[in-house]
Each structure stands twice: as C-alpha cells, then as structure tokens.
C-alpha cells in the first residue's frame, strides 16, 4: 500500500519537523549520526517492576480505574441503542463509572525504581516505516531484561502484549550501533497508520508520519509525546467556547491606546500621551 509507505527521504523530513517542534517544547529529541542517522531521546521513568505479570504504573498521575456498567445501565443503554437506530447521533449515552473494577490495573507489591530510558527512532527499509528502538537501565547501570521490559508496558497494551509478546517487543541488534536494544516490532505500523494517512489524504492536509506514529507507539513503552506537539500543529479553531483562551493581548504601546490587538494601535501621540 503506497499510502502507508514512508521512504527514507520523507522519514528525514518528518524527523526534522519533529525536531523543530521538540526544540520549541524542550522535549529533548536530537538527531544523531548524520545522513544515515536517527532521532534520540533519553528520559527518566519511575516504574514498579516485579517478577509477576502484575504491574502498577507510577508517574502517570492518571485515572486507571476501569469503567464498569451496572447490568441495569447496560440494559438501558442497549435499549436506547435499539430505539436510536433511526437517528443515532442525537441520542446521547452517559458514560458512568459505576464501581471499581478489577480489570488489568492491579497494584503490585514491587518497589518503585527510577530507570533511565533511551529511545531511538530509525527508519526501517524493509518495512518502509519508522521503528522504535530503546534500552533501559537502572540508576546503578544494570540493563533491564526483556521480562522486566514486558512488565513495564502500559496497562492499555499489556493484555495484547501477553498474547504475543515476542511479536511486540524483542531484543535486537541496533542496525547502526550494533548494540543490543529492545525494539517495538513494526509489522503493525501500516494498520494503525492507515486511518490517519487516509484521512489526511481525503482531507488534503499534511500529516507528520513520524509524529503520528510516535503518538501511537510511544505510550506503549513509556515514552510521553506531549499533547503540545499536536496543538502546535493544529491550533484549535475559534468557536465561541474558546474565545476566552484565544483572546488576543491588548496593545501595550506607550500610548496606552487600549487597542484590542497587540501592536495594532494608531500611534497617535495625542491619544492619552
């Protein structure tokens, strides 16, 4: 599928654009290696790792409780769903947290460790996609094992990882450095990139393949892609509810003209001079 193919030249372009944004945001990405190079970033992560398959994600500050609909509510919603078949968009469901669910988010007894992660984004010639390599070590310099890395994957992906762990994260030799790294397998990249690329094509707008790809794969291995990358690229349209946020700064010229837009005053020195 030519839509999902990312050749090396385009990969470079996407990386450069990502780098510009990263510099603006202070996100820490750098380009290493010249022409045949890669993007690199290091980050500290606080993770609880234990030998069991249970894992507790720290540092996210997120609501990890799993939603659970009561039977009655589920029944009501199914009924509403059936009744709404004629005009589904106008029927609104109420997404409620009914009670605590066990789900996949269970606190573990392991202790929290501060780990140093190093992430590399390379271009895969065989898949014509970006590919994520990473390694992690403790503060004492001990490298993590594959099992430990699997147990540190975000809960959102852990269940799927358990189904086919070796097809997800494996240890590979870094193509450029020749050192052992973990790699997130690129075989499904095309599948999850296709909706993004198709929409971009249909709507005639550009999309940064590497950035979109990173937003999907990054969280799997604890790499945070700040939302600001996307808000910088796609500033919110100014509907009325955003008016307060997008209110322009008033002009602060020496004449105190009070003009609503910065620098838009008529510099008439006779105005309240």
Partner 1 sequence: MSDNAESPTETPKEESQPPPDDTSTNDEKKKIDVLLKAVGDTPIMKTKKWAVERGRTILSLSQFISRFLKIEGSEQLFIYVNQSFAPSPDQEVGILFDCFGSDNKLVLHYCKSQAWG
Catalytic residue annotation: 187
Q: Tokens 């390379």, residue?
A: 122
Q: Indicate which single residue of 244, 249, 270, 272 sits in contact with partner 1 (rule: CB under 8 A).
A: 244
Q: Tokens 């509907």, residue?
A: 239
108: Cβ–Cβ under 8 A, 6 or more apart, which residues?
A: 48, 50, 52, 54, 55, 56
Contact segment (CB under 8 A) with partner 1 among 5-13, 20-28, 62-70, 134-142 equals 62-70
Determine the 3-state secondary structure of 210 from DSSP: helix
Q: Is 236 in the site for partner 1 (CB under 8 A)?
A: yes
Looking only at the bridges linking them, the beta strands covering 30-32 and 38-48 are: antiparallel
Q: Indicate which single residue of 35, 234, 248, 269 sits in contact with partner 1 (rule: CB under 8 A).
A: 234
Backbone phi, psi, residue 81, to 5°: -65, -40
Q: Tokens 């990502």, residue?
A: 18
Could you tell me how far CA 55 lies from the centroid of its own chain?
A: 20
Could you tell me how far CA 190 lies from the centroid of its own chain?
A: 17
Q: Is 67 in the site for partner 1 (CB under 8 A)?
A: yes
Q: Is 109 in the site for partner 1 (CB under 8 A)?
A: no
Q: Is 160 in the site for partner 1 (CB under 8 A)?
A: yes
Map residues 178-217 to x or -, x wherever contact with partner 1 holds by CB under 8 A: -------x-xx--xx-xxx--xx--x---x---xx--xx-
For partner 1, give the closer residue by CB, 43 or 196: 196
Q: Indicate which single residue of 75, 93, 180, 260 sits in contact with partner 1 (rule: CB under 8 A).
A: 93
Q: Is the dihedral of CA 123, 128, 130, 131 positive or negative?
A: negative
- Shortest spacing between CB 224 and partner 1, in angstroms: 6
Contact segment (CB under 8 A) with partner 1 among 7-15, 40-48, 87-95, 141-149 equals 87-95
Tokens describing residue 70: 């009561």
Q: Indicate which single residue of 155, 175, 250, 259 sits in contact with partner 1 (rule: CB under 8 A).
A: 155
Number of residues binding to partner 1, judged by CB under 8 A = 71
- Shortest spacing between CB 112 and partner 1, in angstroms: 17
Backbone phi, psi, residue 70, to 5°: -70, 160
């Amino acid at each position: 599928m030519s839509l999902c193919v990312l050749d090396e030249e385009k990969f470079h372009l996407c990386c450069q654009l990502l780098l510009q944004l990263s510099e603006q945001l202070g996100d820490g990405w750098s380009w290493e290696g010249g022409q045949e190079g890669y993007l690199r970033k290091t980050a500290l992560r606080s993770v609880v790792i234990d030998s069991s398959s249970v894992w507790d994600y720290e540092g996210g500050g997120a609501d990890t409780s799993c939603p659970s609909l009561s039977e009655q509510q589920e029944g009501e919603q199914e009924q509403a769903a059936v009744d709404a078949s004629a005009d589904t968009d106008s029927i609104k469901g109420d997404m409620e947290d009914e009670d605590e669910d066990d789900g996949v988010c269970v606190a573990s007894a392991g202790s929290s460790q501060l780990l140093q992660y190093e992430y590399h984004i390379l271009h895969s010639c065989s898949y014509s996609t970006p590919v994520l390599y990473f390694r992690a070590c403790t503060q004492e310099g001990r490298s993590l094992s594959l099992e430990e890395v699997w147990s540190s994957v975000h809960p959102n992906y852990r269940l799927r990882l358990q189904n086919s762990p070796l097809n997800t994260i494996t240890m590979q030799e870094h193509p450029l450095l020749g050192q052992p790294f973990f790699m997130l397998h690129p075989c499904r990249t095309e599948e999850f990139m296709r909706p993004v690329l198709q929409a971009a094509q249909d709507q005639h707008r550009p999309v940064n393949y590497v950035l979109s790809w990173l937003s999907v794969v990054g969280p799997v291995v604890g790499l945070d892609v700040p939302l600001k990358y996307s808000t910088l690229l796609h500033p919110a349209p100014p509907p009325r509810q955003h008016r307060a946020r997008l209110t322009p700064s008033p002009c602060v010229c020496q004449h105190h003209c009070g003009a609503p837009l910065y620098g838009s005053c008529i510099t008439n020195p006779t105005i309240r001079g």
